[in-house]
Amino acid sequence: MIKGVMFDFSGTLFRIESAAQWLRAVTAKAALDVPEGELEACVSRLEEFGAQPGGVPPRTVPPHLRALWLERDLTAERHRAAFTALAREAELPAADLAEALYERSQVSGAWLPYPDTEETLRALRRRGIPVAVVSNIGWDMRPVFRDHGIDSLVDAYFLSFERGVKKPDPRIFQMACDKLAVAPGDALMVGDEPDADTGAATLGCRVHLVDPLPVDQRPGALAEVLQLL
């Protein structure tokens, strides 16, 4: 019987804006007049290097950045350094845009909840089932939950950069289970990254994976969680 649920953040409960929207928002704020073709080419390069936090994973990580990339979620400093470095590899229209892009990735307006995020969390709250967010991340996304009006539906947050441990290490899942006061065998982990989120199964937690599609392409995957209870 499921007595507590852990959710991933990016690609599970929320999804960041597209890379094109991300870059356009930053160039517009900087009042840069960038030709359309150049913008589109830069978007492709940003996606190639996976330079958008919460966006598509990199297809290419330059050798000199691989070690930093692997450790990006352990501290806020490494996270910023990794993603700004990858952005610079994408030959941005202006050199200082790497920092601006990183800052944009932490703005609540850049993130949208999936259509069934709130209703799923509210249904769990009505059933008395506690909820934790367990995320590999390098910044505090609690304001995103607050600004979208659903922070009150989350009982605890376990963020890798705060805990110094990241998924799939079972320790971070155990921390969440302890906080929720549920045994791992009575917990469910819902996420979108098989390599990371299935680490909860090591403890005996059930795991349910969703597809990290754009928000408008995934209307009801989280509602399926309620059928597992």
Determine the pLDDT at residue 49.
98
Determine the pLDDT at residue 46.
98
Nearest to 155 by CA among 172, 186, 173, 132: 132
Tens place of pLDDT for every residue, the chain, 229 residues? 999 999 999 999 999 999 999 999 999 999 999 999 999 999 999 999 999 999 999 999 999 999 999 999 999 999 999 999 999 999 999 988 999 999 999 999 999 999 999 999 999 999 999 999 999 999 999 999 999 999 999 999 999 999 999 999 999 999 999 999 999 999 999 999 999 999 999 999 999 999 999 999 999 999 999 999 9
10 and 26 share one domain: no
Q: What is the CATH number of the domain that holds 201?
A: 3.40.50.1000
103 and 159 share one domain: no
Q: Which of these three, 82, 109, 136, is where a domain ends? A: 109
Range of the domain at 124: 4-15+112-228
9 and 42 share one domain: no
Q: What angle do CA 151, 152, 155 make, to 5 degrees?
A: 90
Domain count for the chain, please give it.
2
For 18, 104, 135, 146, the CA distances from 141, given in Å and listed in that order, are 18, 13, 10, 9
Q: Which of these three, 86, 109, 132, is where a domain ends? A: 109
128 and 219 share one domain: yes
101 and 189 share one domain: no
87 and 97 share one domain: yes
158 and 207 share one domain: yes
Determine the pLDDT at residue 157.
98
In one letter, which amino acid is 203?
L
Q: Can you tell me the distance from the alpha carbon of 181 to that of 3, in angstroms, rounded to the nearest whole number?
A: 9
105 and 122 share one domain: no
Segments in 30-157 forming alpha helices (H): 36-48, 66-70, 76-89, 97-104, 117-126, 142-147
154 and 82 share one domain: no
Determine the pLDDT at residue 198.
97
Give the Cβ contact number of residue 182 at 10 Å: 21
82 and 173 share one domain: no
Q: Which of these three, 63, 89, 109, is where a domain ends? A: 109
95 and 148 share one domain: no
89 and 147 share one domain: no
